Amino acid sequence: MSGETMPEKIGWEVSVAPVGSMAMLSRLEVVKLRDAGHGGLHELFRRCALAVLNSGAHSDDARALYEQFSDFRIEIDQEERGIILRMLHAPALAFVDGELIRGIREHLFAVLRDIVYVSEEIEGRVDVASSASITDAVFQILRNANALHPGEDPDVVVCWGGHSISRAEYDYTKSVGYEAGLRGLQICTGCGPGAMKGPMKGAAVAHAKQRIPAGRYLGFTEPGIIAAEPPNPIVNELVIMPDIEKRLEAFVRAGDGIVVFPGGVGTAEEILYLLGLLLEPANASQPFPVVFTGPASAGDYFRQIDAFIRATLGDAAAARYQIILDDPAEVARVMRAGLDEVKHHRRTTGDAYFFNWTLTVPHEFQMPFEPTHESMAALDLGRDQPAHELAANLRRAFSGIVAGNVKDQGRRAIEREGPFEMRGDPVVMKLMDELLKSFVAQHRMRLPGVEYSPCYRLVA
């Protein structure tokens, strides 16, 4: 972010051999990845690769990263034995004694794998008018990434929360991850730092204690956010989903329960998406354990979130989650019991343990939302609609604020045309204003030490 020292770059060319399943590409795939004018595929790969190589930097400013490394180059060569990546002016922190760090190397080829697969097998082949077709695309991307493990009990806990949190909150996320790991649970997050890294770190220690040799630390991200939240080093299964909506659906399809830690607008977006799904009448009997948790110092944060949910979506939404403060072991016990219920439900209904097919995800939750001044102004934020539909629109509103805060395209739109303007029910606008102001006061919009300039304007 502004004010942070950006990482140094190396001045020599580096050749990187593949790891994983991307040792081979077709000639057409190589042409697409080389051609900067072919649907933007080369630039998409370059930007995602740069974000992965920047893992570990203390910055959430995508624009600063792209500008600092505007001369970063990555090319693909085909040789007799397969493909080779050649990089110039890459971030120095990705290397040790001139060698690319193994985990970053794996992430780099995970990016290549997913971008190629989505381009070749998903784009243009999905019936965007069909909810089932979109869900099938999510399944195919996860299957291609080997992120679905048939034969294993439901044991994946999704952890959401802010990438910029206090030390006390971060340590608490590690404690929850540790308690979950002791109970054999696996961790899935948005793959970045903060509340996405802490649970993985705690679980890794617990898995080592329990002699669990193949601990899973899944990270689901998407091209628009990866530069602001680069993969943390513990992630061992990285998946790049094509957009935020498919990323969110991947969480609820591949995950079996969700723990929410303190965060900002991105976390609020995720909460609203989840509650919107659980309020869908077709999901009334769907077991899905959800816990909001943090240290005792996070009590005010969760009281504000809870009050906002009850006032906008109603008590039925609040009934779908528990709030547990300052008790990591209890969080893990509740999740363990909840996953046992999930297993029973899926066995009874004949659903897969590894992918939640029976969860209904309405079409409006699947369609990508492009935050523009026009689309943000057109959002229906009135209370005279079903709760799950209001949740979907509130989710889009918070998604737009995330874009205006940290996504390069969103920030440029704000600079050109001013803040996004949202209009709606006076009560809803007042509640949003109070919640967002609390995020600003608690430094949950951007990292502490940087004055926040709102990218939005709320009009009753």
CATH number, domain containing residue 220? 3.40.50.450
Instruction: Using alpha carbons, list the distances in angstroms from residue 376 to 227, 266, 309, 373, 399.
Output: 23, 16, 21, 5, 10
Domain for residue 182, yes or no?
yes
Final residue of a structural domain among 125, 155, 185: 125
Query: In terms of residue numbers, what domain contains 23?
Result: 13-125
Calculate the alpha carbon distances from 96 to 59, 200, 285 in Å: 21, 23, 51
As a whole number, mean pLDDT of residues 159-177 equals 95
Same domain, 415 and 428: yes
Residue 305 counted as domain residue: yes
- Counted residue by residue, the chain has a size of 460
DSSP three-state, residue 209: helix
Quick one: pLDDT at residue 450?
65
Answer positive or negative: Cα dihedral of 267, 244, 46, 419: negative
Residue 367 belongs to some domain of the structure: yes
109 and 158 inside one domain: no
Query: By the 8 A CB rule, do 176 and 259 touch?
Result: yes
**How many structural domains compose the chain?**
2
Task: Say how far apart CA 222 and CA 134 lie, in whole Å.
Answer: 16
Q: What is the pLDDT of residues 384-425, one digit of tens each?
A: 999 999 999 999 999 999 999 888 888 899 999 999 999 999
Domain annotation covers residue 2: no
Q: According to the 3-state scheme, what is the secondary structure of 109-171?
A: HHHHHHHHHHHHHHCCCCCCCCHHHHHHHHHHHHHHCCCCCCCCCCCEEEEECCCCCCHHHHH
- Do 180 and 298 sit in the same domain of this protein? yes
Single out the residue in 99, 125, 151 at which a domain terminates: 125
Residue 394's pLDDT is 96
- Asked if residue 141 and residue 112 are part of one domain, the reply reads no
Other beta carbons within 10 angstroms of residue 178's beta carbon come to 22
Residues 424 and 365 in one domain: yes
At 421, which helix (H) or strand (E)?
Answer: strand 420-423
Whether residue 105 is found in the same domain as residue 181: no
- Give the pLDDT score at 328: 98
Specify the pLDDT at position 84. Answer: 83
* Distances 454 to 386, 400, 414 between C-alpha atoms, Å: 29, 12, 10
Check whether 24 has a pLDDT greater than 60: no
Q: Are residues 325 and 439 in the same domain?
A: yes
Distance CA 160, CA 270 (A): 8
pLDDT at position 1 over 60: no
How many Å apart are CA 323 and CA 107, to the nearest integer? 34
pLDDT tens sequence across 345-370: 999 999 999 999 999 999 999 999 99
Q: Which of 273, 276, 271, 331 is nearest to 302 (CA)?
A: 271
DSSP helix/strand/coil, 13: strand
In a domain, 4, yes or no: no
Q: Does 1 reside within a domain? A: no
CB 19 within 8 A of CB 82: no
pTM as predicted:
0.91
Q: Is the pLDDT of residue 327 over 90?
A: yes
Q: By percentage, how much of the chain surpasses pLDDT 70?
A: 91
Return the pLDDT at 22. Answer: 58
pLDDT given for residue 275 in this prediction: 97
Residue 447 has pLDDT above 60, yes or no: no
Residue 101 structure tokens: 């760090």
Please indicate, yes or no, whether residues 316 and 367 belong to a single structural domain of this protein: yes
The CA-based angle 370-374-377, given to 5 degrees, is 105
Give me Rg for the CA atoms of the chain. Answer: 21
Are 251 and 376 part of one and the same domain? yes
Domain end position, chosen among 97, 125, 153: 125
Do residue 121 and residue 155 come from a single domain? no
Same-domain status, 349 and 306: yes
Of the two residues 68 and 209, the one the predictor is more confident about is: 209
CATH code: domain of residue 116: 3.30.1850.10
**327 and 446 part of one domain:** yes
Determine the residue type at 150.
P
Q: Is residue 235 part of a domain?
A: yes
